[in-house]
């Protein structure tokens, strides 16, 4: 069985699609593209597809990952191109690489996420003051909704770093978070900013996952596909706007 690892996007209106909807779209596209999928054994065989850390509904993403198993060897770039052509606009397959022998699990390489959050109606000065208050805390409890109900969670250990950019009409927060359990997401960071600085944007924040991967020494996120990149995709052109 050949194992391929893909990076794809969730852009535009599709940011409101659920993970289940995206999974169905991808599986249909694999069939349309004629990708020879490997299947599990047993009474109810299913295609060997592993999804990694899906972005929450409502958030866009430039860095969603999936791992697929093929029953026959294929050129990764041909698979990328065929699958990309079979998917709806907004789901774009940016890269496809073959997993090398002994490289372990892709999930083990995804231990952090870099988010960009656009805050219309908030000035960079307001956001900078709130972020400084957040980073000064050792612990920061917020109410988080989980599958077992709402509970108080300390989000501060997950926040590696945060910076502010933007202009008068829209502040931009860039934040790197560790992928802990429970997962700390942009809405949790916004809840923390509300706790420490009473920051409440006048319109809903717009979040984009910019990267997933391992933390490097600078506190940024590295590309999880890079160690396997014996075969590179040619899809390195300028990204479309989210």
Q: Pseudo-torsion of CA 125, 128, 132, 133, nearest 10°? A: 70
How many domains are there within the chain?
2
Whether residue 116 sits in one domain with residue 20:
no
pLDDT surpasses 60 at 231 = no
Alpha helix ranges (H) inside the chain = 19-32, 76-86, 124-136, 186-197
Element (H, E) at 4: strand 2-10
**What is the spatial distance between Cα 186 and Cα 56, in angstroms, rounded to a whole number?**
9
Angle between helix 186-197 and helix 124-136 axes, rounded to 10 deg: 90
The overall average pLDDT reported for the chain is 89
Residue 154: predicted pLDDT: 95
Residue 227: predicted pLDDT: 53
Q: Is residue 20 part of a domain?
A: yes
Whether residue 118 sits in one domain with residue 85:
no
Domain that holds residue 54: 2-108+224-228
Arithmetic mean of pLDDT, 201-219? 93
pLDDT in tens, 3-13: 999 999 999 99
Give the pLDDT band (50/70/90) at residue 229: very low
**What is the spatial distance between Cα 104 and Cα 49, in angstroms, rounded to a whole number?**
16
Residue 88 belongs to domain with CATH number: 3.30.70.580
**Are 52 and 67 a contacting pair, CB within 8 Å?**
yes
Residue 123 belongs to domain with CATH number: 3.30.70
Residue 238: predicted pLDDT: 38
In the block, tokens 């060997």 appear at 48
pLDDT surpasses 50 at 237 = no
Q: Is residue 240 part of a domain?
A: no
Whether residue 93 sits in one domain with residue 137:
no
Q: Is residue 234 part of a domain?
A: no
Whether residue 94 sits in one domain with residue 63:
yes
pLDDT in tens, 106-147: 888 899 999 999 999 999 999 999 999 999 999 999 998 877
Residue 193's nearest CA partner among 145, 156, 150 is 156
- Cβ neighbours, 10 Å, residue 163: 12
**What is the spatial distance between Cα 23 and Cα 96, in angstroms, rounded to a whole number?**
17
Q: Which two tokens stand for residue 155?
A: 């989000």
Whether residue 159 sits in one domain with residue 77:
no
């Amino acid at each position: 069985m050949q194992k391929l690892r893909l990076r794809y996007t969730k852009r535009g209106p599709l940011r409101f699609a659920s993970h289940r909807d995206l999974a169905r779209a991808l599986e249909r596209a694999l069939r349309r593209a004629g990708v020879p999928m490997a299947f599990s054994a047993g009474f109810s065989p299913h295609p060997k597809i592993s999804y990694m850390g899906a972005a929450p509904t409502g958030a866009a993403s430039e860095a969603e990952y999936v791992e697929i198993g093929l029953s026959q060897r294929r050129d990764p770039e041909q698979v990328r191109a065929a699958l990309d052509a079979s998917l709806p606009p907004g789901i774009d397959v940016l890269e496809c690489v073959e997993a090398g022998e002994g490289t372990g699990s892709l999930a083990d390489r995804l231990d952090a996420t870099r988010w960009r959050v656009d805050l219309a109606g908030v000035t960079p000065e307001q956001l900078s003051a709130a972020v400084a208050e957040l980073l000064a805390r050792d612990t920061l409890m917020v109410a988080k909704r989980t599958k077992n109900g709402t509970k108080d969670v300390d989000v501060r250990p997950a926040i590696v770093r945060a910076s502010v950019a933007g202009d008068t009409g829209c502040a931009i927060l860039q934040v790197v978070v560790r992928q802990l359990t429970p997962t700390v997401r942009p809405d949790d960071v916004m809840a923390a900013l509300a706790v420490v600085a009473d920051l409440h944007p006048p319109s809903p924040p717009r979040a984009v996952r910019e990267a997933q991967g391992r933390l490097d020494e600078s506190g940024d996120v590295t590309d999880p596909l890079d160690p396997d990149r014996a075969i590179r995709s040619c899809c390195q052109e300028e990204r479309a706007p989210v």
